[in-house]
C-alpha cells in the first residue's frame, strides 16, 4: 500500500516537473482518480486480512499509560529525520527577496526537476503511511472518510509559516500548524458544535492564514 502511494507521487512529480503542469490541478485530479478506483474496488467482494497487527498502531486503551501510540513516535521520527525540501536561493544569484526560488536554485546548479519528482514521490509514501494509520483506526478501508481533509492540511502548513508561492516553510512549523488544526477539530467536537459550524471555523482559519501569508510576502518584498 505504501509503495503504491510512492508510485502515485512519482507520477504526479513526473507530470508536474516534466510537463510543467500546474501542481494543484494535477494533484487534485489524481485525488479524484484514486478515489474513483477505490470506489470500483469497493464494489468487489471484500478480501479478509489479518488485523492482529492493528493494535500496534492504534492509541493505547489506558489514557494514563506512559506509553505513546506508534503514530506519535512515527511523527517524531519523521520530523527529526526529514529536512525542509525548499531550495534556498544563493545571494550571488539574486538580490531581490521576491525572485522565484526555483529559478534561482536552478541557476545555483540544483537539479530542480529531479528534486521535485523525488519530493512528490516521498509525499506519496508519507500520505499512504498516514492512510495506514487511518486504516488501523477504522478497521476497514473507506475512501470517503478523509474527504475534505486536504483543506485542513493546506491550512496547517500555511499556519505553520509555509507560503502558497513555495520556497518558504519548515517541518517544525508544519507540525505546529497540524497540532493547531487538531485542537480546533477536537475542541469543536468536545464543545458539541455541529459539523457545519466546524466547517465554517476551518474555512475562516484558511482565509485568515492566506491573508497572513500575503502580509508576510508584502513585508518581505518591501
Structure confidence by residue, pLDDT tens digits, 174-215: 888 888 888 888 888 888 888 788 788 878 887 887 787 778
C-alpha pair distances (Å), 113 with each of 28, 102, 109, 161: 20, 10, 11, 24
Task: Please indicate, yes or no, whether residues 127 and 157 belong to a single structural domain of this protein.
Answer: no
Task: Please indicate, yes or no, whether residues 106 and 154 belong to a single structural domain of this protein.
Answer: no
For the chain, what is the domain count?
2
Task: Please indicate, yes or no, whether residues 137 and 168 belong to a single structural domain of this protein.
Answer: no
Task: Please indicate, yes or no, whether residues 36 and 126 belong to a single structural domain of this protein.
Answer: yes
108: three-class secondary structure by DSSP: coil
Task: Please indicate, yes or no, whether residues 78 and 175 belong to a single structural domain of this protein.
Answer: no
**Judging by beta carbons within 10 Å of its beta carbon (0-12, 13-18, 19+), is residue 80 exposed, middle or buried?**
exposed
* Domain stop point among 118, 144, 170: 144
Task: Please indicate, yes or no, whether residues 135 and 165 belong to a single structural domain of this protein.
Answer: no
Which tens digits make up the pLDDT trace of 132-156? 887 777 766 666 777 778 778 888 8
Task: Please indicate, yes or no, whether residues 76 and 118 belong to a single structural domain of this protein.
Answer: yes
Residue that the C-alpha cell 500575503 belongs to? 214
Mean pLDDT value across the chain: 75
Return the pLDDT at 93: 42
* Domain stop point among 78, 110, 144: 144
DSSP notation for 6-62: HHHHHHHHIIIIIH---HHHHHHHHHHHHHHHHHHHHTSPPPP---GGGGGTSPPS-
Return the pLDDT at 67: 67
CB-side exposure of 107: number of CA atoms within 13 Å? 13
Return the pLDDT at 88: 43
Task: Please indicate, yes or no, whether residues 209 and 123 belong to a single structural domain of this protein.
Answer: no
Task: Please indicate, yes or no, whether residues 25 and 104 belong to a single structural domain of this protein.
Answer: yes
* Domain stop point among 144, 164, 182: 144
Return the pLDDT at 92: 37
Task: Please indicate, yes or no, whether residues 103 and 175 belong to a single structural domain of this protein.
Answer: no
For the whole model, what pTM was predicted? Answer: 0.70
> Which residues form the domain of 92?
1-45+54-60+67-144
Task: Please indicate, yes or no, whether residues 125 and 158 belong to a single structural domain of this protein.
Answer: no
Eight-class DSSP state of 97:
T
Which tens digits make up the pLDDT trace of 97-122? 444 567 777 787 778 788 888 889 98
Share of the chain above pLDDT 70, in %: 74
Amino acid at each position: 500500500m505504501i509503495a503504491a502511494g510512492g508510485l502515485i507521487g512519482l507520477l504526479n512529480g513526473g507530470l508536474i516537473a516534466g510537463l510543467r503542469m500546474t501542481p494543484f490541478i494535477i494533484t487534485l485530479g489524481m485525488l479524484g482518480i484514486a478515489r474513483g478506483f477505490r470506489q470500483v474496488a469497493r464494489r468487489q467482494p471484500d478480501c479478509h486480512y489479518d488485523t492482529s497487527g492493528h493494535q500496534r498502531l492504534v492509541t493505547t486503551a489506558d489514557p494514563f499509560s506512559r506509553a505513546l501510540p506508534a503514530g506519535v513516535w512515527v511523527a517524531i521520527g519523521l520530523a527529526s529525520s526529514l529536512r525542509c525540501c525548499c531550495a534556498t536561493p544563493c545571494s550571488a544569484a539574486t538580490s531581490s527577496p521576491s525572485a522565484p526560488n526555483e529559478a534561482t536554485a536552478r541557476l545555483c546548479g540544483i537539479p530542480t526537476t529531479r528534486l521535485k519528482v523525488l519530493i512528490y514521490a516521498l509525499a506519496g509514501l508519507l500520505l499512504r503511511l498516514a492512510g495506514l494509520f487511518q486504516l488501523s483506526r477504522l478497521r476497514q478501508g473507506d475512501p470517503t472518510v478523509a474527504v475534505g481533509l486536504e483543506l485542513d492540511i493546506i491550512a496547517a502548513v500555511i499556519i505553520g509559516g509555509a507560503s502558497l508561492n513555495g520556497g518558504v516553510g519548515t517541518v517544525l512549523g508544519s507540525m505546529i500548524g497540524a497540532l493547531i488544526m487538531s485542537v480546533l477539530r477536537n475542541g469543536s467536537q468536545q464543545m458539541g458544535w455541529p459539523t457545519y459550524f466546524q466547517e465554517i471555523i476551518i474555512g475562516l482559519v484558511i482565509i485568515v492564514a492566506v491573508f497572513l501569508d500575503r502580509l508576510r510576502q508584502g513585508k518581505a518584498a518591501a
